[in-house]
């Protein structure tokens, strides 16, 4: 055992990646459908830290991992976050989260007053740990003027991760809540004969604007031959048009607007036009809408569909292209090279990152996080990594500015988020392992139970309010809980367990606002204690 400890101490990088590997292995173990997922990395890290305390790498390594995760979340879900701030769903989610955070804070204040031996410094640290908020911990140490909050934090933090995971997993296992999973969408096509006199002589662009959102005329056949009308071409009585959508109901709704359905395809004269699928890797197209792309093209091309990841996207006028998207087009034969030059058509671009933009974006976020904002009665408050997240969310919404492309391909974003999460959990666990054991041995079960009670109240209250008061679907509610409790491991567990992308959206709506809210609460409470 001594030899193992010595080896781990001498090889901290080995210890780090062994922790990540063992953590994911443990996380795959399922008991009654309940598994820890990425959250297991933290617990393996605690064991590794208790076994070989000197093997832990400096805290900047974990901070770097958290930076990667937060930046990836921000640029991926910026649009959803800002939409959530004003949407009815977002308002409800924030109300539920605020109530949960305030209830847990109230319980902490009651414990300080009525439970013997509970000090404010350690209790506020336990509250920050129960909410897995490193930023709140930093604020607590500034407010108290010592490092005692870190003691309470180290005891409560593991339970701040474990309890929400257990609550979400057990609730899902025993209550089996119903929620609608979004089916993987695929392209639907329909051939329609133009018979509606109201659209005779109108351009394809004009007609497209009258169709249900997500339905689009993509190509035209006249007299048995493909007609190169383009989006400005005028439709005539008897034309056969191909309309596309990813929603069968909207496709059926659009047919009477045009005429009569005649089949599911158009027989084109061989050799005139051909279908091609290309990857969008040209950075100049990132963030462009379909109308903007059509304006840039010199070739007569019909855009049939856009595929992002595993999903065919509705061809709406507001749909913006992303690097790594696949675009299906119908074009005249012989223009393959021109199309490849225009779209880029590079597969590897789906995993590439614009490091210039990322570096600038992350630097801006860290700079904002380091600014001390004066608040009357509270002093100067710094947002820390919450500032980075807020900047990343804004950049994700903007997508591009001048020469900077802020958005990331889906594949690259997932790598950043998942690797950053693993790095953060492993380092924090390894650094906290020995302190965790010592604190439990010293203070008994007091702060341990306090941490469990704080996070349980926060988790259960948000769960009950979102699901039973606001009637929010459970998969979205799980993301809101993840954002309110704060730790990305809870989000990872929710997304994997529920097989839904809704937790990511709920998390993105709530996590930034609750991070800032927790920092402000620490400052306010500290001013009166």
Write 230-233 long-range contacts (CB < 8 A, 24+).
230/204, 230/300, 231/203, 231/204, 231/205, 231/291, 231/294, 232/203, 232/204, 232/205, 233/203, 233/204
**Residue 458 resides in a domain:** yes
Whether the predicted pLDDT of 270 surpasses 50: no
Residue 436's closest CA among 187, 77, 24, 158?
Answer: 158
3-state secondary structure of 237: coil
pLDDT at 424: 81
Mean pLDDT computed over 493-509: 76
State whether 325 and 192 are in the same domain.
yes
pLDDT digits over 107-153, tens only? 999 999 998 888 888 899 899 888 887 668 767 877 787 767 877 87
pLDDT at 492: 72
State whether 143 and 221 are in the same domain.
no
d(CA 166, CA 40): 12
State whether 235 and 322 are in the same domain.
yes
pLDDT at 231: 52
Lookup: tokens for 91? 């308002």
With 0-12 / 13-18 / 19 or more C-beta atoms within 10 angstroms meaning exposed / middle / buried, residue 198 is: exposed
Whether the predicted pLDDT of 269 surpasses 50: no
State whether 411 and 500 are in the same domain.
yes
Residue 51's closest CA among 427, 437, 445?
Answer: 437
**Do 393 and 512 touch, CB atoms closer than 8 A?**
yes
**Do 70 and 385 touch, CB atoms closer than 8 A?**
yes
3-state secondary structure of 274: strand
pLDDT at 187: 62
**Residue 22 resides in a domain:** no
d(CA 256, CA 424): 56
Q: Which residue has the higher pLDDT, 7 or 332?
A: 7
> 401 is in which domain, residue-wise?
57-179+371-425+438-528
**Residue 413 resides in a domain:** yes
**Residue 474 resides in a domain:** yes
**Residue 364 resides in a domain:** no
CA distances from 262 to 23, 204, 256, 515 (A): 57, 19, 12, 56
Whether the predicted pLDDT of 183 surpasses 60: no
State whether 378 and 485 are in the same domain.
yes
CATH number at residue 325: 3.30.70.1450
Q: What is the DSSP string of 185-237?
A: P--EEEEEEE--GGGTT-BHHHHHHHSPTT-EEEEEEETTEEE---TTPBP-T
pLDDT digits over 19-69, tens only? 999 988 987 877 655 566 666 787 788 889 889 888 988 888 988 988 888
State whether 238 and 109 are in the same domain.
no
State whether 171 and 259 are in the same domain.
no
Whether the predicted pLDDT of 267 surpasses 90: no
Buried b (16+ CB within 10 A) or exposed e, 450-486: bbbbbbbbbbbbbbebbbeebebbbbbbbbbbbbbbb
Which helix (DSSP H) or strand (DSSP E) does residue 327 occupy?
Answer: strand 326-332
**Residue 281 resides in a domain:** yes
Mean pLDDT computed over 401-430: 82
- Among candidate residues 284, 317, 350, the one where a domain is terminated: 350
Q: Which residue has the higher pLDDT, 341 or 309?
A: 341
- Among candidate residues 350, 379, 395, the one where a domain is terminated: 350
- Please count the residues of the chain: 529
State whether 193 and 325 are in the same domain.
yes
pLDDT at 107: 96
- Among candidate residues 292, 316, 350, the one where a domain is terminated: 350
State whether 175 and 206 are in the same domain.
no
| Three-state SS sequence of 34-80 | ECCHHHHHHHHHHHHHHHCHHHCCCHHHHHHHHHHHHHHHHHHHHHH
State how many domains the chain has.
Answer: 2
**Residue 246 resides in a domain:** yes
**Residue 10 resides in a domain:** no
pLDDT band at 454 (very low <50, low <70, confident <90, very high): very high
State whether 383 and 259 are in the same domain.
no
pLDDT digits over 272-311, tens only? 566 778 888 787 787 788 788 877 877 777 777 788 766 6
State whether 251 and 160 are in the same domain.
no
d(CA 356, CA 349): 15
State whether 523 and 391 are in the same domain.
yes
**Do 386 and 67 touch, CB atoms closer than 8 A?**
no
Lookup: tokens for 246? 């990813």
pLDDT digits over 463-482, tens only? 999 999 999 988 889 889 98
């Amino acid at each position: 055992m001594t030899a193992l400890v010595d080896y781990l101490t001498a090889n901290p990088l080995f210890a780090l990646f062994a922790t990540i590997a063992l953590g994911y292995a443990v996380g795959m173990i399922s008991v009654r459908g309940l598994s820890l997922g990425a959250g297991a990395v933290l617990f393996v890290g605690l064991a590794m830290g208790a076994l070989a305390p000197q093997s832990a790498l400096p805290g900047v390594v974990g901070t770097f991992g958290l930076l990667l995760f937060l930046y990836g979340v921000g640029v991926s879900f910026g649009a959803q976050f800002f939409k959530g701030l004003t949407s009815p769903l977002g308002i409800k989610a924030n109300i539920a989260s605020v109530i949960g955070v305030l209830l847990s804070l109230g319980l902490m204040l009651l414990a300080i007053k009525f439970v013997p031996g509970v000090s404010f410094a350690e209790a506020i640290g336990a509250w920050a740990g129960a909410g897995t908020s490193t930023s709140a911990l930093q604020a607590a140490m500034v407010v108290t003027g010592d490092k005692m909050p870190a003691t309470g934090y180290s005891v409560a933090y593991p339970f701040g991760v474990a309890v929400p995971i257990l609550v979400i997993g057990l609730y899902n296992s025993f209550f089996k809540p119903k929620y609608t999973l979004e089916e993987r969408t695929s392209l639907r096509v329909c051939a329609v004969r133009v018979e509606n006199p109201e659209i005779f002589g109108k351009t394809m662009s004009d007609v497209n604007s009258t169709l249900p959102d997500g339905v689009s005329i993509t190509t035209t056949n006249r007299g048995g031959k493909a007609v190169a009308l383009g989006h400005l071409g005028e439709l005539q009585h008897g034309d056969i048009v191909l309309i596309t959508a990813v929603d069968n109901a909207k496709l059926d709704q659009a047919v009477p607007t045009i005429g009569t359905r005649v089949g599911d395809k158009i027989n084109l004269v061989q050799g005139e036009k051909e279908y091609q699928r290309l990857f969008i890797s040209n950075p100049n197209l990132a963030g462009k809408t379909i109308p903007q792309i059509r304006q840039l093209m010199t070739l007569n091309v019909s855009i049939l569909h856009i595929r992002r990841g595993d999903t065919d996207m509705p061809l709406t006028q507001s749909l913006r292209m992303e690097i790594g998207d696949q675009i299906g087009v119908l074009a005249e034969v012989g223009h393959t090279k021109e199309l490849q030059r225009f779209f880029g058509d590079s597969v590897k671009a789906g995993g590439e990152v614009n490091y210039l933009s990322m570096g600038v974006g992350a630097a801006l976020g860290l700079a904002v996080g380091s600014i001390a904002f004066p608040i009357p009665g509270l002093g100067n408050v710094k947002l820390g990594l919450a500032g980075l997240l807020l900047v990343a969310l804004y950049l994700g919404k903007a997508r591009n500015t001048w020469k900077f492309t802020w958005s990331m391909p889906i594949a690259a974003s997932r790598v950043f988020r998942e690797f950053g999460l693993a790095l953060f959990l492993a380092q924090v666990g390894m650094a906290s392992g020995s302190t965790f054991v010592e604190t439990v041995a010293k203070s008994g079960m007091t702060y341990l139970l306090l941490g469990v009670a704080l996070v349980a109240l926060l988790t259960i209250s948000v769960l009950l309010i979102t699901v039973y008061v606001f009637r929010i679907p459970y998969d979205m509610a799980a993301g809101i809980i993840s954002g309110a409790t704060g730790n990305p491991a809870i989000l990872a567990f929710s997304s994997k367990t529920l097989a839904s992308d809704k937790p990511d959206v709920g998390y993105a709506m709530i996590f930034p606002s609750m991070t800032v809210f927790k920092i402000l609460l620490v400052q306010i409470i500290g001013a009166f204690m």
